[in-house]
Structure 1
């Protein structure tokens, strides 16, 4: 029920229905603004504006012994490969052995509160958007004193104005229009490089979002164009990125191409001058899905320009109770200084089956081949069971093995290793926007982790 309805109902119940009181309660008694604008959810109306309120709180607690790590895949997206991702390493947990105690824990609360005030204008809806976020994150390693783990005080993550309908102008502090979607692999284990690129193909070191001026326009027939100046608050040579996007959606197909030029405001050639292109397309044809994505880019460096490219192809087919998915990825480029980064590639696949109503299984794996001479390959094989115990309870269990082949010269020699793991999660969704889960993971190498999550959203 809308907040305004609750307030008005309380007023009526109290007998406050005279014209004099109604005049004093003008903010609460204007009932038609949100309806006229076609807005719903938790709303409050004034004479001219509709205020929508939404938000959420999410809590995560983890405890166990997981401080150390083992490298499974060294992807090319490192500091020497474009100067963006600091590590490019896909790790698994490993235990630490510290005298006295080896207990590790994380405790994190994430808060989100969004206000959207909308009024009509001659150019379409006029909006102001304020998105407040807070991240309270504390952690301890080896039972040491707790420390902040990248906590953030309450802040306006987004604060911008917007006007328009078919064509929309936005200005202020806002997320980027750069589209990096249509690039996730369909197989349930995913791919190693894709994981390192935040699931998909690597967008590159795009300086984006922040203080922006953006224009989005619908050209009809599912085609949308976007252009914007972003990162206008960045200091020095990173100031200003020009972003352009073209998107399509319709007839079972979604597609986009995004482009970025970074560091354009200083008109001086520096290491922060970059370019990037990201494109993806997904087609759904009856029982089949196919997805293709690609990204490329690079930048200037006095020691020698660098560049990268990354491609991904994934397909999925549904046959009655079975689902089959196959995915592959490849990446390469030139490091800072111009040296060849080598060509890394990987592939993965999975088979899923609906055993009974509410019970399904997934079998799959993924493989990674490092393009650096002497570096051993990485892999994962896994089996997963998902069962709906009731309408609100779901159990997910998984067993598998991670592994890494031996490193040989010219790489630093290191023996091969493998690690068997098992995990189980009980998820509870009783409704009302509330979700919770309790999970545990144990590994052959001695690492273990117990995770509790709870969240509630409203709108």
Structure 2
């Protein structure tokens, strides 16, 4: 039995002896520090501190002949800069399918501890998050290729967050953590999205979320009320990123030239509108700004209509060049139908392109939905086009099981440019998701293309808090 229950029971019993004692019980609201701080979930408490524990494990396994799959889509701009392989999210990119098998085994795990206590300035916290990414790949039945944290002997690589904070409406944070930058309000509404949406969704327009942002930080964020919040931070104080041409061109946090990023953000969240503006300038610890830029986005929801716009810009002084990515998207719901349309423009390091995407969704019954969509991209640098069309069926078989089927294809002169003699590539996918409860989810998916590539994927995941 909890000590709190024993104490409350003893006081209640004593209070029955006199009406005066019973009245005094009204001032006792909680004897547990977690309750007094409004913290729930899996907790351990002492007299002054509440320790909240959360975590999760995810496992992924892929198998098939997919790593030498012909490039599905465009080359040049969207292949090299916007990452077509990731955006298409099908079964690989490379030269040709050779009949030799490929597979991947990947384990991700995280464990987070948040220790909280009351202070004169609000809640004081110490946050520690341990994270493991353990991955092994095999291509064409060759040697096992390890990736992730299993390559690092430095235990600090496993600690993704380690910082302290204090405050409620205004919070001071210092240590190792993610950026305070807001890069939301930037995902297209149509179900295929756009060929370049990953860059806008990440927002930073560098090579990834980690480049120049987060890491060792000093940050202050403040809630001004009426949906308005502001923040300012010094980030990436632990160093810059170096490109080592002699080590496979891998970016490593070893240089000082790009160290130090000043980030400022203003956000608004109202009933019908959310919006933000994030500005940044990097490499400032040596007294010179090596890159700077901004990300802005806004979403408006008006009854059955939604409108979204986003723009990301980066000026790289080292390369004396820039990246620009702009997106506009709209969605309208009419009874059982949902119509969405998106457009994008890209000007990235001298390459330009633009595209459109649209979809129509129909809810047939409470558990069955059909999506029809297409997207197109024109690469100005190569003067080639790529078109994708797809039909998707999502069916809830039971309360815990969902089946998704999709068929489609890629067309256009960019496909033939990547794959001589092939003017189109068709594909089909069938997936099963299972969510029995308790924070556990699992999925099984099979994919195949008309170029004889195929892939089977299995995932299982459990979180707790």
TM bucket normalised to smaller? 0.7 to 0.9
Kindly indicate whether residue 387 of structure 2 is the aligned counterpart of residue 387 of structure 1. no
CA contact (8 A) 1:178 1:258 kept: yes
Deviation at residue 143 of structure 1 after TM alignment: 1.5
- 3-state secondary structure, aligned to 1:345: strand
Kindly indicate whether residue 329 of structure 2 is the aligned counterpart of residue 314 of structure 1. yes
Q: Determine which of 300, 321, 336 is the counterpart of 1:283.
A: 300
In the alignment, the residues of structure 2 paired with residue 159 and residue 75 of structure 1 have an alpha-carbon distance, to the nearest angstrom, of 40
- What corresponds to 2:244 in structure 1? none
In the alignment, the residues of structure 2 paired with residue 252 and residue 97 of structure 1 have an alpha-carbon distance, to the nearest angstrom, of 49
- What corresponds to 1:172 in structure 2? 175
Deviation at residue 103 of structure 1 after TM alignment: 0.8
- What corresponds to 1:27 in structure 2? none
- 3-state secondary structure, aligned to 1:73: coil
Deviation at residue 300 of structure 1 after TM alignment: 1.3
Kindly indicate whether residue 233 of structure 2 is the aligned counterpart of residue 216 of structure 1. no
| Higher helix fraction (1 or 2) | 2
Moved more, 184-193 or 70-79: 70-79
Q: Determine which of 148, 159, 163 is the counterpart of 1:156.
A: 159
- What corresponds to 2:459 in structure 1? 453
In the alignment, the residues of structure 2 paired with residue 56 and residue 310 of structure 1 have an alpha-carbon distance, to the nearest angstrom, of 34
Q: Determine which of 372, 375, 386 is the counterpart of 1:378.
A: 386
* Pairs within 5 Å for 1:265-284: 265-268=285-288, 273-284=290-301
Distance 1:386 1:173, change over 3 A: same
Deviation at residue 200 of structure 1 after TM alignment: 6.2
CA contact (8 A) 1:73 1:89 kept: no
In the alignment, the residues of structure 1 paired with residue 49 and residue 455 of structure 2 have an alpha-carbon distance, to the nearest angstrom, of 49
Deviation at residue 145 of structure 1 after TM alignment: 2.6
Distance 1:311 1:284, change over 3 A: same
Structure 1 segments unaligned to the other structure (5+ residues)? 10-29, 336-340
Deviation digits for residues 392-429 of structure 1, max 9, x if unmatched? 00000000002231599xx9995552111110111000
Distance 1:363 1:254, change over 3 A: same
Return the TM-score normalized by structure 1: 0.84
In the alignment, the residues of structure 2 paired with residue 201 and residue 314 of structure 1 have an alpha-carbon distance, to the nearest angstrom, of 16
Deviation at residue 357 of structure 1 after TM alignment: 1.6
Deviation at residue 305 of structure 1 after TM alignment: 1.5
Q: Determine which of 345, 360, 363 is the counterpart of 1:330.
A: 345
- 3-state secondary structure, aligned to 2:360: strand
Distance 1:214 1:32, change over 3 A: same
In the alignment, the residues of structure 2 paired with residue 407 and residue 426 of structure 1 have an alpha-carbon distance, to the nearest angstrom, of 30
Kindly indicate whether residue 234 of structure 2 is the aligned counterpart of residue 229 of structure 1. yes
Distance 1:88 1:213, change over 3 A: farther
Deviation at residue 204 of structure 1 after TM alignment: 3.6
- What corresponds to 1:13 in structure 2? none
Deviation at residue 144 of structure 1 after TM alignment: 1.8
- 3-state secondary structure, aligned to 2:257: helix
- What corresponds to 1:240 in structure 2? 260
* Pairs within 5 Å for 1:2-17: none
In the alignment, the residues of structure 1 paired with residue 448 and residue 77 of structure 2 have an alpha-carbon distance, to the nearest angstrom, of 29
- 3-state secondary structure, aligned to 1:70: coil
Moved more, 144-153 or 132-141: 144-153
In the alignment, the residues of structure 2 paired with residue 250 and residue 138 of structure 1 have an alpha-carbon distance, to the nearest angstrom, of 45
Deviation at residue 371 of structure 1 after TM alignment: 1.2
Kindly indicate whether residue 441 of structure 2 is the aligned counterpart of residue 435 of structure 1. yes
Deviation at residue 136 of structure 1 after TM alignment: 1.1
- 3-state secondary structure, aligned to 2:119: coil
* Pairs within 5 Å for 1:42-441: 42-71=42-71, 72-74=73-75, 76=77, 93=92, 96-98=96-98, 102-152=100-150, 155-195=158-198, 197=199, 199=201, 203-204=205-206, 207-234=212-239, 235-268=255-288, 273-301=290-318, 305-332=320-347, 335=349, 341-374=350-383, 376-405=384-413, 417-441=423-447
Distance 1:260 1:76, change over 3 A: farther
Distance 1:194 1:406, change over 3 A: closer
Deviation digits for residues 223-260 of structure 1, max 9, x if unmatched? 10000000000141111000000000012111000011
Structure 2 segments unaligned to the other structure (5+ residues)? 6-29, 240-254
Distance 1:406 1:434, change over 3 A: closer
Deviation at residue 297 of structure 1 after TM alignment: 2.0
In the alignment, the residues of structure 1 paired with residue 415 and residue 440 of structure 2 have an alpha-carbon distance, to the nearest angstrom, of 47
CA contact (8 A) 2:78 2:195 kept: no
In the alignment, the residues of structure 2 paired with residue 204 and residue 96 of structure 1 have an alpha-carbon distance, to the nearest angstrom, of 30
Deviation at residue 203 of structure 1 after TM alignment: 3.0
In the alignment, the residues of structure 1 paired with residue 256 and residue 432 of structure 2 have an alpha-carbon distance, to the nearest angstrom, of 49
CA contact (8 A) 1:322 1:351 kept: yes
Deviation at residue 343 of structure 1 after TM alignment: 2.8
Return the TM-score normalized by structure 2: 0.83
Deviation digits for residues 319-358 of structure 1, max 9, x if unmatched? 110000000000115x3xxxxx243101100000011120
CA contact (8 A) 1:75 1:193 kept: no
The runs of at least 4 aligned residues of structure 1 exceeding 4 Å deviation read 85-92, 94-98, 411-416
